[in-house]
Copies of this chain bind each other. A is one copy, B any other.
Amino acid sequence: MTGFDAAAAIRAKRLHDRAAELDAADGLAALRDRFLLPEGVVYLDGNSLGALPAAVPDAVEDAVRRQWGTDLIRSWNDNDWWDAPTRIGDTVGRLVGAAKGQVVCGDSTSVQLYNALTGAARLRPGRTLLLTDPDHFPTDQYIADAVARTLGLTVRRVPVRELPGVLAADGPDVAVAAYGPVDYRTGELYDMAALTDAVHAAGAVVLWDLCHAAGAVPVELDAIGADFAVGCGYKYLSGGPGAPAFVYVAARHQDAFDHAITGWHGHAEPFGMHGTYTPAPGISRARIGTPPLLSMLALEAALTAFDGVDMKALRAKSTSLTGFFLDCADTLLDGLGFTVATPRDPERRGSQVSLRHEHAYPMVQALIARGYIGDMRAPDILRFGFNALYVTHADVAGLAAELLRITEEREYADGRFAARSTVT
């Protein structure tokens, strides 16, 4: 703790000790061994790319050498490649409260959004509005605009707080509301059940983007009566870089799901080689083309990190981590130009805490140089994801201490942290 003044050093030591107590009492601590975390790194960017689960390397090697190399084309049957999208979909479904037969894995989130949003809007012919969040992740907004264009709809950007009012006023015109339960910048968690009810009261359907929710916060798609959802595989699900996304189509909508990208894997008889499209029954119609099997099987292996995990206990640890970081920030970083962007009410918080600071970019670079990996989002957000499967309270206390050091010593002003790189 050299460089801190004496009072700060005492406060940091107290937080360090408190972290040790919390970690000692953590019933999920052993889950960390399900990940291969590099030495010297505290990884707080699992909300952008999850860490490597220990089960993945062997599974991928088997997929490459035995399934592809030796079994070759026979793997479509013998190693169940054909069923991978629905099989892995069911596994993801368990993490988001979806009974079997409602989730398919494959493609990117952007593609799944395009496909599902088209199918969702077609359920409400004659309605002209597609509502989405002006603070939604960019691709969600771009895809909403793209789908609205082809279907002749109008996109209206309505902040979450104003959504119930707009639905009450203009509900009969609304076809779809496309929202995320967690703000990707601030980590604010919205009430999915209440918003779903409000959308339904207007006679519209809801499409949830679960990218920052799946595996991170409790999601009960079936219980709240959600219509559609999409999400990515590479954040809290730790499925690997660009891991395939997933789509949920509630069973009651599947027969009428009239989606955009009618690829042959979604055909009722894909090997009949028919010239016109007849959608498969059930969730299989949400399949599109041939999925990237190596990435799919990596995701499947990664999901075993959740085997036997009590999602309520995981959520409790997550709120403990995020709450503790807020305590740390209050204790160590007060008066240093930070503001907390994330709600203090744990019920309104995802598994992430974001701070704002005018020097966010070089600060995050300086943190990374010190082995604490978070990320930033323009213009001024330092974003830290706390994957409760592998992050400890000691990591959190260390993060706060490093932020104090970087700020007090103005380390972020070092020229080597100023340059912008392609991806932050």
Contacts and interface: CB of A to CB of B under 8 A. Distances in A.
A52 B69 contact: yes
Given A146-B261, A263-B111, A294 B295 contact: yes
Interface in A381-424: 421-424
Contacts of A82: 422-423
A38 interface: yes
A145 B70 CA distance: 38
Contacts of A137: 264
B241 A293 contact: yes
B61 A57 contact: yes
B70 A38 contact: yes
A31 interface: no
Interface residues of A, number: 91
Contacts of A48: 73
A298 interface: yes
A142 B241 CA distance: 30
Interface stretch (A160-168, A272-280, A332-340): A272-280
A411 to B, nearest CB: 19
Given A108-B289, A138-B273, A294-B241, A72 B60 contact: no
A240 B64 contact: yes
A378 to B, nearest CB: 5
A305 to B, nearest CB: 14
28 contacts: A38-B72, A43-B72, A49-B68, A49-B72, A51-B72, A57-B61, A57-B64, A57-B69, A73-B373, A77-B423, A108-B291, A108-B292, A110-B261, A138-B275, A141-B276, A142-B262, A142-B263, A142-B276, A142-B277, A241-B290, A241-B292, A242-B293, A242-B294, A242-B296, A271-B423, A273-B378, A292-B294, A292-B295
The 4 A-B residue pairs whose C-beta atoms are closest, nearest first, are A108-B289, A110-B263, A110-B289, A292-B295
Interface of A: 36, 38, 41, 43, 45, 48-49, 51-52, 56-57, 60-61, 63-65, 67-70, 72-77, 81-82, 106-111, 114, 118, 134, 137-139, 141-143, 145-146, 150-151, 157, 185, 232, 234, 240-245, 260-265, 267, 270-277, 288-296, 298, 368, 373, 375, 377-378, 421-424
